[in-house]
Amino acid sequence: RTIKLADTKERATKDLAVKCFGAILSARPGFIEEIGSGRFLDILNNRASQAVALIGTYTLLFGILVTFTAYGAVILLAAPLASILAGLLVTGVVLSLNRYVRMAREISQRLLQARETYSNFITERYRGWRLIKLSNTVAREREAAHDRVSELYRLRVALARIAGVVQLIMTPVMSVL
């Protein structure tokens, strides 16, 4: 099952990347110039696999929702009062975590933008490597690369920190239930 799932995900990623490639090259020339080579590479190399992973995640969440609903119905029939109290507790905790979800979403958006900027930066620097060497600006370019990588690091750590806080809050609550 794991191999079949991986095969399906990789095939979907490949098909999506090929369709994106064709669609972008079929677009108007101004759009192609506007996205630039870094974003073009990012779309084909990263975004296609991320889109497929997102679909897989939604499918997994749907399966969990169906399972949770089935178990919830059985538990509600077996112990209605305890089930209602547990449901209220979980609802309260989930609502209180809304702030962290919004923060994570904002950081994720900034991380996507930073990745795109970094990808464009790397592509441009690779194309101009001869000029960089001739003008003896390797140290300046290294510093610029360091700044961009540091931003990616900072955003990833912030996202991990939020995930840790959510886990810290949810684990005790779920173990009580």
Residues 37 and 123: their CA atoms lie apart, in Å, by 7
Q: What share of the chain is helix, strand, coil (3-state, %, to 5)?
A: 95, 0, 5
pLDDT tens for residues 100-150? 989 999 999 999 889 888 888 888 888 888 888 899 998 999 999 999 999
Q: Quick one: pLDDT at residue 43?
A: 82
The mean of the pLDDT values for the chain is 86
Residues 32 and 40: their CA atoms lie apart, in Å, by 8
pLDDT tens for residues 64-79? 899 988 988 998 899 9
